[in-house]
Structure 1
Amino acid sequence: MATTGGIVRNRNGEWIIGFNRLLGSCSVFEAKLWEILDGLGIIIDRGYDHVRIQTDSLEVAKVIQKSHRRDVTRP
């Protein structure tokens, strides 16, 4: 059984909100991706439009960066 969670901070590093969720059966990689997706959903709902994502998973960071580069270069 996997769980995920994180915190959202403002640009000054001050805590805005914490969150967590029971995911069920999944890999650590999938749990890290869900953690980021849940955090992004929270900040979008609160009206933020500039974000910095921090993760302790190099594999997840590389996948997100690769996906972003692909989206930026599409015509």
Structure 2
Amino acid sequence: MERDRILKEILSDSELMEKYKIKKEELDTLTTTPSGPYSKKIVEVLSVIINENDNHLNNSMIYKKLKNVHNI
């Protein structure tokens, strides 16, 4: 799936993997479709952005969804 590939590509950056403590094995299993709670907040935030952008939501709607994710 294209969305999953985008998520994995972003998070495969070595600096991001180190910063967010993402292991190679974990990276391989990441998906933008949750099968339960996301393991890390960064994965959830990026997944919302990727999914909603692909669903053609405008930036302000994506921002509102992100605020909801963070309970702001």
TM-score scaled by structure 1?
0.34
Which of the two has greater helix per residue?
2
Larger strand proportion, structure 1 or 2? 1
Query: Which of 1 and 2 has higher RCO (CA within 8 Å, sep 6+)?
Result: 2
